[in-house]
Structure 1
Amino acid sequence: MHTVSSASTELEASAQTLTKTSERSQQQTATVAAASEEASTNVQSVASATEEMASSISEISRQVQESARIATEAVEQARATNASVGELTSAASRIGDVVELINTIAGQTNLLALNATIEAARAGEAGRGFAVVASEVKALAEQTARATGEISQQIVGIQAATNDSVQAIRVIGETIARMSEISSTIASAVEEQGAATQEISRNVQQAAAGTHQVSSNIVEVQHGVTETGSASTQVLSAAQSLSQDSSRLKDEVSRFLDTVRAA
């Protein structure tokens, strides 16, 4: 009889321990569930931010590629303009040669007119008409020389301006070429960053799915712990009832034995 009473007491103590353990487990699983839910929310936020960043990088990459394309076109246009200006320089040089030739001819004409004037003076009255023509030819030669001189000055100015334009276009072309190289480098870097961001986004999405699964599992565990707590409470109640029944049985047996001894 003592063994039954002792066993019921041990059962009650074990049930109490199980109940306390179940309560602590419930508290711990509740804390873990809250932390897991918060982690899942944070991961989702990171995933959304990563997707936005990937979208921004994609737009930046598109704009940089467009800038690189425009810079490449500008380089080609600068080269074409440089070639055109080079042709203009050659044309101005050829015009200068022609003007020099005209100037030489005008000088020779002037010299011939001077000689004709001298010969007309020697001829006296007979050469007077020829002298008038020679004088007019000389005046025309002088006008031609002055005109070609002015043209030569203009040609020199055009050549100087053209050379300046050539230098300016060359510098512009070199600058645009450097810009094109920089844009290409930036485009490559942005493309690599975009690929890395997409990989990060994929990993974060997988992590989000994992944390969501963990949260679901923790909820299931929490339900199990709650059920265990309920069961342990029932066990404790049964153990307490058994302990009470054991005590009553012990009392009844004691009274019965006392009655037997008295008889």
Structure 2
Amino acid sequence: IEQLVDRGKSVNDIIEHTASTVRHAQLEADEGERIMRTYIERIQDIDHNALLMKGHVDQLKDTSAQIRTIVSAVKEIAGQTKLLSLNASIEAARAGEHGAGFAVVAKEVNKLADHTKDTVAHIEELVGNSNLATNAVVYNIEVVKSSVGTVRGQADAAGNAFQQIVDHVEHSTSNMVHIQGEMSDLLQMISHIHEATAEVAASAEQLNRTTKHL
């Protein structure tokens, strides 16, 4: 009986150590799950910000398209103005001295048309460069969104795996607590048996001594 009690205590010690290890594993699993949730939330933030950025870039592209439309209109007006100034210069030359003042005005209008044409060309170049940069940004955003989508899928899978680990650890912890309780009850029963056996042995010894005196 004493050997059984000792072995029971040894087994109980092992169970307690195992239970402690399982509880520690559960804490680590919970922490891992928390970190993974935070990681997934950050990925979602990146995805959301990339979507907002794409919206701003789309607005910029729309604005650039409107600017190109306006520039085309101004360019056409400048061309018409230059043609009108050329016709005015011809008419002023035909008028001789009477058209001298008008010729000066026509010349200035022609200069203004040329300057407008140069300015429009510069604006077109700037808009073109802006479109190139915008397209590059759009491409990079799409790359980021694709990468985020891949990483998010992997993170979700890892999060699910962590959740399964946590569930298994919690189940193991529950089982270990149950086993501890059962082992404690078993040790208590063994202890009672040991005490009862000792009492029976003492009674038997007493009975044996009494029998010898008869």
* TM-score normalised according to structure 1 size: 0.72
The aligned residue for residue 110 of structure 1 is 82
The aligned residue for residue 131 of structure 2 is 159
Could you tell me how far 1:167 is from its partner in structure 2?
A: 1.2
The aligned residue for residue 223 of structure 1 is 195
Identify which of 169, 181, 200 aligns with 2:172: 200
The share of aligned pairs that are identical, in percent, is 24
**Distance in structure 2 (CA, Å) of the matches to 1:36 and 1:216:** 10
Matches within 5 A, 1:174-185: 174-185=146-157
Identify which of 33, 38, 42 aligns with 1:61: 33
Contact 1:72 1:177 in 2 (8 A): no
Contact 1:64 1:183 in 2 (8 A): yes
Over the residues paired in the alignment, what is the CA RMSD in angstroms?
2.4
* Further displaced range: 130-139 or 117-126: 117-126
* Residue-pair matches, total: 214
**Distance in structure 1 (CA, Å) of the matches to 2:61 and 2:122:** 18
Which structure 1 residue ranges, 5 or more long, are not aligned? Answer: 1-28, 246-263
Identify which of 96, 116, 121 aligns with 1:124: 96
Could you tell me how far 1:66 is from its partner in structure 2?
A: 3.1
Secondary structure of 2:129's counterpart equals helix
Could you tell me how far 1:87 is from its partner in structure 2?
A: 1.3
The aligned residue for residue 74 of structure 1 is 46
Greater gyration radius = 1
The aligned residue for residue 122 of structure 2 is 150
The aligned residue for residue 48 of structure 1 is 20
Secondary structure of 1:175's counterpart equals helix
The aligned residue for residue 133 of structure 1 is 105
**Distance in structure 2 (CA, Å) of the matches to 1:101 and 1:46:** 82
Identify which of 175, 181, 185 aligns with 1:209: 181
**Distance in structure 2 (CA, Å) of the matches to 1:138 and 1:35:** 112
Identify which of 54, 68, 71 aligns with 1:96: 68
**Distance in structure 2 (CA, Å) of the matches to 1:149 and 1:65:** 53
The aligned residue for residue 258 of structure 1 is none
* TM-score normalised according to structure 2 size: 0.87
**Distance in structure 1 (CA, Å) of the matches to 2:76 and 2:49:** 40
Could you tell me how far 1:232 is from its partner in structure 2?
A: 5.8
The aligned residue for residue 158 of structure 2 is 186
Q: Map Cα deviations across residues 106-144 of structure 1 (whole Å, 9 max, x no partner).
A: 122122212222222222222211111111011111111
**Distance in structure 1 (CA, Å) of the matches to 2:10 and 2:81:** 104
The aligned residue for residue 31 of structure 1 is 3
Secondary structure of 1:82's counterpart equals helix
Q: Map Cα deviations across residues 17-62 of structure 1 (whole Å, 9 max, x no partner).
A: xxxxxxxxxxxx3222222111101111221222232233223223
